[in-house]
Amino acid sequence: MTPRWVSDEPLSVQEHLDAVSDPASGAVALFVGRVRDHDPSVSGAVTGLDYTAHPDASDTLERLVATASVRPGVLGVAATHRIGLVGVGEAAVVVAVATAHRTLAFQVCAELVETVKRELPVWKREILADGSHVWVGLE
């Protein structure tokens, strides 16, 4: 699999695991960010998230993955963020990092997830069960 970076298609965890497969890898850390049915900051049930991306979002995610990939000891990195309407329980972001040992895999995966959340120009609108919506992260 070639990472799709930003995709309007459902995300495959297995494709991300396959993308970082390396015979020298003894560990793969995997993060799957899923849409949940609630948000403590709003009242009402969440039925989905509608993600909108800046046209540069794929280039930004590619750069973030490339930066993580060149760290010493990293054998493979794959990450994709979903855009469009994503239902409860579906994956909105998948990050996989392969290394020889688990400590580095966990560290790089966690750092990449936080960097994606902070730097990727993707915005989300929570769709609520009553038909209303709330933009998240816009200030």
At 89 the pLDDT is 97
- 72 burial level (CB within 10 Å; 0-12, 13-18, 19+): exposed
At 139 the pLDDT is 55
Tens-place pLDDT, residues 47-64: 999 999 999 999 999 999
pTM, 2 dp: 0.93
Give the mean pLDDT per block of 10 residues along the chain (139 residues). 79 96 97 95 92 96 96 97 97 97 98 97 95 79
CB atoms within 10 A of CB 93: 21
Whether domain 5-129 has CATH 3.40.50.1580: the reply is: no
Domain ranges of the chain: 5-129
